[in-house]
Amino acid sequence: MKLPVQFGDVLGAYERIKDRIRKTPVLTSRSLNELTGSQLFFKCENFQRAGAFKYRGANNALLLLTREEMQRGVLTHSSGNHAAALALASRRLGIRAFIVMPRNAPAIKKQAVLDFGAEVVECEPTLEAREKTAAAVQEKTGAVFIHPYNNRQVIAGQGTAALELLREVGELDAVFAPVGGGGLLSGTAVVTRYLNPGAEVFGCEPANADDAYRSFHAGKLIPVRNPDTIADGLRTSLAPITFEMIRKLVSDILLVSEEDIVIAMRLLWERLKIVVEPSGAVPFAAALRHKEKFRKKRVGIILSGGNVDLEKMPFGREGSG
């Protein structure tokens, strides 16, 4: 059966967005290679505009709107990186953006969205309130809803990070991506399986938000409710499109503990000298946790984002230093 997103969709997305995004660097580190026993290639989407890979998918989705849709504006509900990415990409294209955010979203995230010129609509902090508010905004404005991951154009855009990675470093044995809603993992998988069929793709997930792991092994969608993990970008659950992609293309889901995430994040900051958010550190946490399995392998690691509140650092408490 034909997959919802094909390699050609990612190629098309790349042609569409490549002059609007940053071609992010791939970093390597002898000391982190020594720690894991594998050869790691870090694709640094923390350097992407608006601070995360989400800017790729948001641009692709916006650029595929009709002229008439662009005039109506766009809408999403998110308090995270998709909101900021959609806000910035919309501003650059002269499209109005409405972002539905829970009233208790961190002030810093709300400010980022406002700074990017979007209109924030607050709601109560429940999924029901979010959807209801979004529906009301949509009805009033006619804005086009851009789902953060259950959207084929968004997934195709997210796949362009792996496209750049594989084109730059050549054949890999494995590619690790974090999995929350599954958009990045789906896009990464379709690119990797096409360009580098000998490489396996792994989703990396906090054990405290293990819906992808459970869904993958049960063969049916099993969402989680309000998971408690420091990896705030991975609290979402898979959706029908991403689940279909992932069950067909991904080898397994690797789980990591909260402590693993903090240790991994700290090592990335200290050794690579880059700021990576907890969600972005999850694939490297998996590379550390499961290092026996990948000894001497060439492993691509997608560092998905770098948006972190410096006032709320996990160091000095769980500190493993």
Q: Which residues bind a copy of itself (CB under 8 A)?
A: 25, 46-47, 51, 108, 266, 269-270, 272-276, 306, 310-311, 313, 315-316, 319, 321
DSSP structure class, residue 269: I
Q: Least distance from C-beta 49 to a copy of itself, angstroms?
A: 9
Q: For residue 147, give the nearest of 183, 185, 93, 96 by alpha carbon.
A: 183
Closest CB to a copy of itself among 25 and 142?
25
Distance of CA 83 to CAs 69, 74, 143, 189, 275, Å?
19, 11, 15, 24, 20
Q: Least distance from C-beta 138 to a copy of itself, angstroms?
A: 31
Q: Least distance from C-beta 16 to a copy of itself, angstroms?
A: 21
Q: Least distance from C-beta 300 to a copy of itself, angstroms?
A: 19
Closest CB to a copy of itself among 17 and 199?
17
Closest CB to a copy of itself among 105 and 143?
105
CB 54 within 8 A of CB 84: yes
Q: Least distance from C-beta 115 to a copy of itself, angstroms?
A: 9
CB 302 within 8 A of CB 283: yes
Sheet holding 97-102, edge to edge: 119-123, 97-102, 74-77, 144-145
Closest CB to a copy of itself among 211 and 260?
260
CB 279 within 8 A of CB 231: yes
Q: How far apart are CA 19 and CA 135, in angstroms?
A: 33
Closest CB to a copy of itself among 240 and 319?
319
Q: Least distance from C-beta 265 to a copy of itself, angstroms?
A: 10
Residue type at 188?
Answer: T
Closest CB to a copy of itself among 121 and 274?
274
Question: Which residues does residue 40 pair with via DSSP β-bridges, in sequence order?
Answer: 299
